[in-house]
Every structure is written in structure tokens, then in C-alpha cells.
Amino acid sequence: MSRAQKKSILIYSFSGAIMIAAMIFSGVRNNERQVEELLVEVMDEDGNYFTDNIEIVDLLTDKNTDFIIGVKFKELEPKTLEERVEKNPFVKDAQIYRDLKGNLQVKVGQSKPIARVFTNGMQDRYIDTEGKVVPVSAKHTARVPLIETEFTFKWKSMYESSYTEQIFELLTYIEENDFWRAQIAHIYVKKNGEIELSPQVTKQTIVFGKPEKPEEKFAKLMTFYKEILSRKGWNIYKKINVKFKNQIICE
């Protein structure tokens, strides 16, 4: 190795050491900085705000018992703060970090309800896209299908059993299909586990059977809409049964 090459390596090594030292110094200096401002952003692409900045700040500060403004960054534990925010049932996730201006940024993603559960004598609840059962909110009402059951609804999550997972699969299928999301208004769960659906536009009761094979059953229902109702009229039948394989029974 020539003297010039050795000199170049030495220069690069020295420059690298300076950069690392500068980064360490900058990190230490930033840790000593105090939080100048708390910036909260509640994100929701659909505009359904089930929580707000005031509630989030209340959770962050543990109901004003743990102050954040004026506290040094090195004294904060972002993970603990995120866990506080995520205690809100409508918070899907929270990300907390500092910016270059000395502010604490709080980004909050919301849960998205896909059905509302109605039970006589009990408070309504929502089922969200994650399969969680969450309380209703006084801040906003989601336009989602209403679920009623012939039994007391006690589920805490839609992953409690294979049956609840099937119901969740059905709800997810409806939510992800623009036509069925607009069309299905009411879901009735019977004691024997079978499902009946009530549409928004037409007046038929849709006998769905067990909440399984939603893609196959909705395909049959779409065939009924396109090939039968379009020719005979939208309300000529009172009941449509799609629970049997390869059959559509009209009454």
C-alpha cells in the first residue's frame, strides 16, 4: 500500500470519527432539550372521528397527573406514552416521536367499525376491522350494518371461536365490497347460528344460513338481483334463500 493510500485511509477514518462524535453530541444535546409543544394528529381517511385531540392529550398526561410540556426528552418514555393512548378502544395504533423543532409528535390511527351490535337492555357496541368489540362513541355514529341476536351478545372479540370468526369473515366481506356495504342494512343472528339479512333497497328477507362461504352465497344473491329481480320486479318475492349449495329459493 502506497503512502498516498495510507494517508487517504487515515483521512477518511478521522472524518468518520468526527461525524460519529458529532452525531453522539447532537443526540445528547437533543435529549437535554425540553418538549416545546405537543402536536396531536388523529388520522382517519373516512372522516369518522371517534376520538379527538383533547382525549388523546388526557391519556398522554394520565389525566393531567404526568406533565409533558417542559419535560426533557431524555425523561420521556415514548413506548409508555403510546401504550397510554392505545388504551382508548377507538385507537388502532399510536406513534410518538420528537421532531427537530423540539415538539413531541403524536400520530394516532383510529379503529374502523364495520358493524353495530344492538342488544335489548344493553349498550350498543361496534365490531371493528380488527375483530375487536368496542363501545359506541358519543362523538360520531358510523353508518354500518346493524346486528341483532336471539341470544345475549357477550363476545369480547370476534376471535373467540370458529363461529365468531365466521361472522367476522362475513362482516369483512360486506365491508370490502362497495355494493354489499351499501345494500346490507341489518344482520339477524338466530339461536341456531343461522343468519338472515335485510337489504337497504329491496324488501326481501335473505336467508343466508350459517355465516360461511360468503363469496359463494353473495354470488348467488347477485345472480338473483341481475337475472330475476331485474325482469320480475324488485319486490315480487318476500324471502330469498341462498343457504343451500347451487340453489336459490324464492318465496
Structural domain includes residue 146: yes
Set of cell numbers at residue 119: 342488544
Structural domain includes residue 61: yes
Domain at 83, CATH number:
3.10.20.310
- Domains in the chain, number: 2
pLDDT for residue 160: 93
Please name the residues in contact with 180: beta carbons below 8 A apart, sequence gap of 6 or more: 173, 174, 218
Q: Both 241 and 146 in a single domain?
A: yes
pLDDT tens, position by position, for the chain (251 residues)? 555 544 444 444 444 444 443 343 344 445 567 888 888 988 876 767 788 888 888 888 887 777 788 888 788 888 888 998 998 888 989 999 888 888 888 999 988 899 999 877 778 899 999 999 988 887 788 889 999 999 888 888 999 999 999 999 999 999 999 999 999 999 999 999 999 999 987 778 999 999 999 999 999 989 888 887 777 666 778 888 999 988 888 88
pLDDT for residue 3: 53
Q: Both 105 and 45 in a single domain?
A: yes
pLDDT for residue 11: 46
Q: Both 226 and 135 in a single domain?
A: yes
DSSP 10-71: HHHHHHHHHHHHHHHHHHHHHHHSBP-EEEEEEE-TT---SS-HHHHHHHHTTTTTS--TT-
Catalogue the E-assigned strands of 111-212: 113-118, 125-128, 133-135, 146-149, 184-189, 195-199, 205-209
Structural domain includes residue 51: yes
Q: Both 169 and 102 in a single domain?
A: no
d(CA 171, CA 238): 23
pLDDT for residue 209: 94
Q: Both 124 and 237 in a single domain?
A: yes
Q: Of 59, 83, 110, which closes a domain?
A: 110
CB atoms near residue 104 (< 10 Å): 22
Structural domain includes residue 69: yes
| 163 sits in which H/E element | helix 162-176
3-state helix vs strand vs coil in the chain, percent to 5: 35, 25, 40
Domain at 224, CATH number:
3.40.50.11690
Structural domain includes residue 30: no
Q: Of 110, 142, 162, which closes a domain?
A: 110
d(CA 11, CA 9): 5
Please name the residues in contact with 34: beta carbons below 8 A apart, sequence gap of 6 or more: 70, 71, 72, 73, 102
Q: Both 118 and 200 in a single domain?
A: yes
Please name the residues in contact with 241: beta carbons below 8 A apart, sequence gap of 6 or more: 207, 247, 248, 249, 250, 251
- Residue 170 · residue 155 · CB < 8 Å: no
pLDDT for residue 1: 54
Provide the domain limits for residue 230.
113-250
Q: Both 139 and 231 in a single domain?
A: yes
Q: Of 83, 110, 137, which closes a domain?
A: 110
Q: Both 246 and 124 in a single domain?
A: yes
Nearest to 206 by CA among 215, 197, 194: 197
Structural domain includes residue 17: no
Structural domain includes residue 29: no
pLDDT for residue 27: 41
Q: Both 142 and 105 in a single domain?
A: no
Q: Both 82 and 53 in a single domain?
A: yes
d(CA 111, CA 140): 13
